C-alpha cells in the first residue's frame, strides 16, 4: 500500500490495495489512521460489486440509511447519486456536509464512481480544521459555544434532490428534517476543532432569525471554502473516495451538461456533535 498526498489542504491517494479483498485488521487500522490524518482518501481503480463495496464499508464503520432515497435492491444503504443526460441540476451541487439536519450526522461518506462524463464532474473538498484555525481571534470568540439550526428544507438544496426523489424517493420520508448543532465542533477522535456549518443546510443561529444570522453566516460560508482549504478530486470509473464528514465540506461540480454521471454512496453512522 502506497500513500501519495494530493495537496497541502487535505487528501491522499491510496494505491496498491484491492478493497474487494478481505483486508486484515491491521490494514484496516492503518487506513483509518491515514483517513484521520488526510481527511479524504482516494482509491483509484477499484472493481467492486455492491456486495464487496458494502463489505468494505462495514469494515470502516456502520452504514446508515439516507432519509430521502431508497437504496439498491438488497443493499438499502447504498444510494444512487446520479445526473442523467437530460438533467440540468446535479444532486447535492452546493457546498455541504452530508445530512447535518439529522441529530447524529454521518461520520463519513463513501462515494464509488460507476459512470463519469468525459470531462468535468470533479468534487471539491474543503478542510474545516484549517477554516477554523484561520479565523481571526475575534471571530472565534463570536462563534465558540454558539449553536446553529440545520434543515433539509433550504430551497436551493431541495431543488438538487428533486430528480432523484422522483426516481427513487422513500414513501415514508418526512417533509423536512431539522437539528441543532454546535457551530464549532470538537472532533471525537482527533480532539481538534472545526467549523460545522454549511451553506446547504445551516439556516440560522439558535435563538436568532434568518435575517439576524445572515451577515455572520454569509461571512463564514465564504471563509470556509477559501482556496487554501480546498482540494479537487477527479473521478474515473472505479474511483472510491472516503471522507470525514465531521470536518470536511464537499461540492460536486455541475460542469458536464449533456452527459451522465452515476455514483454509489454509503454514509457511515456518526455521533451527536459536541
User: How far are the Cα atoms of 65, 119, 239, 254 from residue 143, in angstroms, in the given order?
Assistant: 31, 40, 37, 32
- Closest C-alpha among 245, 207, 269 to residue 61: 269
Separation of first and last alpha carbons in the chain: 34
User: How far are the Cα atoms of 187, 201, 218, 246 from residue 270, in angstroms, in the given order?
Assistant: 11, 17, 27, 8
User: How far are the Cα atoms of 20, 184, 207, 216, 219 from residue 213, in angstroms, in the given order?
Assistant: 47, 16, 9, 6, 10
Ramachandran angles phi, psi of 137, nearest 5°:
-50, -40
Mind telling me the catalytic residues?
A: 96, 98, 250, 265
The count of other CB atoms within 10 Å of the CB of residue 74 is: 9
**Letter string b/e over residues 28-53, b meaning 16 or more CB atoms within 10 A of that residue's CB:** eebbbebbeebbbbbbeebebebebb
**What is the SS3 string spanning 161-212?**
HHHHHHHHECCCCCCCCEEEEECEEECCCCCCEEECCCCCCEEEECCCCHHH
What is the Cβ-side half-sphere exposure of residue 82, based on CA atoms within 13 angstroms?
A: 19
Question: How many whole angstroms separate alpha carbon 235 and alpha carbon 232?
Answer: 10
Contact 124, 235 (CB under 8 A): no
Amino acid at each position: 500500500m502506497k500513500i501519495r498526498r494530493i495537496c497541502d489542504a487535505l487528501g491522499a491517494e491510496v494505491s496498491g490495495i484491492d478493497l474487494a479483498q478481505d483486508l486484515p485488521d491491521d490494514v484496516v487500522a492503518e487506513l483509518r489512521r491515514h483517513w484521520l490524518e488526510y481527511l479524504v482518501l482516494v482509491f483509484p481503480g477499484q472493481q467492486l460489486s455492491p456486495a464487496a463495496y458494502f463489505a468494505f464499508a462495514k469494515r470502516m464503520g456502520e452504514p446508515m440509511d439516507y432519509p430521502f432515497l431508497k437504496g439498491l435492491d438488497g443493499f438499502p444503504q447504498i444510494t444512487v447519486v446520479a445526473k442523467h443526460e437530460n438533467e440540468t441540476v446535479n444532486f447535492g451541487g452546493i457546498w455541504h456536509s452530508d445530512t447535518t439536519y439529522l441529530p447524529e450526522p454521518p461520520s463519513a461518506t463513501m462515494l464509488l464512481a460507476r459512470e463519469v462524463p468525459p470531462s468535468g464532474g470533479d468534487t471539491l473538498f474543503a478542510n474545516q480544521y484549517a477554516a477554523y484555525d484561520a479565523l481571526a481571534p475575534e471571530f472565534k470568540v463570536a462563534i465558540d459555544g454558539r449553536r446553529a439550526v440545520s434543515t433539509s428544507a433550504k430551497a436551493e438544496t431541495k431543488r438538487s434532490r428533486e430528480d432523484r426523489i422522483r426516481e427513487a424517493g422513500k414513501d415514508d420520508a418526512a417533509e423536512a428534517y431539522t437539528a441543532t448543532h454546535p457551530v464549532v465542533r470538537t472532533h471525537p477522535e482527533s480532539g481538534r476543532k472545526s467549523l460545522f456549518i454549511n451553506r446547504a443546510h445551516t439556516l440560522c443561529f439558535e435563538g436568532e432569525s434568518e435575517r439576524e444570522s445572515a451577515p455572520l453566516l454569509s461571512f463564514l460560508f465564504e471563509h470556509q471554502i477559501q482556496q487554501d482549504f480546498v482540494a479537487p478530486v477527479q473521478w474515473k470509473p472505479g474511483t472510491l473516495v472516503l471522507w470525514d464528514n465531521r470536518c470536511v465540506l464537499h461540492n460536486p461540480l455541475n460542469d458536464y451538461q449533456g452527459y451522465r454521471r452515476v455514483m454509489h454512496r454509503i454514509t457511515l453512522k456518526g455521533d451527536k456533535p459536541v
